[in-house]
Structure 1
Amino acid sequence: MSPFEALYGRACRTPLCWSEVGERVLEGPEIVDEPTQNVQVIKANLKAAQDRQKSIADRHATDRVYDVGNLVFLKLSPWRGVVRFGKRGKLSPRYIGPYEITERIGEVAYRLELLLELSKVHNVFHVSMLRHYVSNPLHVIPPQHLEINPDLTYDEEPVTILDWKDKVLKNKTVSLVKVLWKNHSVEEATWETEDRMREMYPRLFYEY
């Protein structure tokens, strides 16, 4: 039942759901006794549901213990509006790192060796904020040669065209191409107008 019905013994009147004609009206001590009994039943049901959830969670729970020298990821703050170690927004990463454990504090806390930009952050964290990192050589990305201009910029060069599509505007249709750029991944490919790309990089269209 709804909280209103549990406290007052009748359904809440709304434009969408009117109570039935001839509904029961509580008078005298029943006004206090019946809602009190309903609240006790609700508390008992909530306690049973919480105990059931806790038993399931305890069944799958394991104690996590790390050694000094292990590498771990650090979980970021889940609170909305809180600056997440320089990261803000819905698409911010959930973990940063990995960082090395330098000391174990008590049973459930560890001291990490953080970077200089995190020097203002207290470096002791609860075990629930950490996730073990297993070293994998495949995670190492070899550096790519990048030609830097004297003004510390670099020139963007297209590699190939990944896709085509037509964008219908109010008075005309514009042809777009999805371009893969040098020194960028496929996820960073951008949509550009076909006319502009044909004018600036005609070599991309030789094979089409």
Structure 2
Amino acid sequence: MRFSRKVKLSPRYVGPYEILQRVGEVAYELAFPAELASVHPLFHVSMLKKCLGDPTSILPFERLGVDENLSFEEVPVEILDKQVKGLRNKEISTVKVFWRNHLVQGATW
């Protein structure tokens, strides 16, 4: 099961979670809360990231508002900035959006 849809703005990592044991050469078993009981606890080492305690890289599961099918909806909160880029014969406007489940540094154009 996926934690969310594969979209450009979806979080790359959810956690941190405790490693219970090493299974084989390249797999680890993780301890999940009861809400994630439907997710298989074994993960390949390439899917894991070492938690260094950086609060910008950690997205807590409780704050996401995850549905029963382990997906969540991105909701824009505020438009932080606007830009207009001129091409040869037309102008393209872009906006910087602050999202509900992200920090201000996670705002995207």
Q: Work out which structure has the larger RCO, using CA pairs closer than 8 Å and 6 or more positions apart in sequence.
A: 2
TM-score (norm 1): 0.25
TM-score (norm 2): 0.45
Q: Comparing both structures, which one devotes a greater share of its residues to helix?
A: 1
Q: Comparing both structures, which one devotes a greater share of its residues to strand?
A: 2
Instruction: Tell me which structure has the larger Cα radius of gyration.
Output: 1
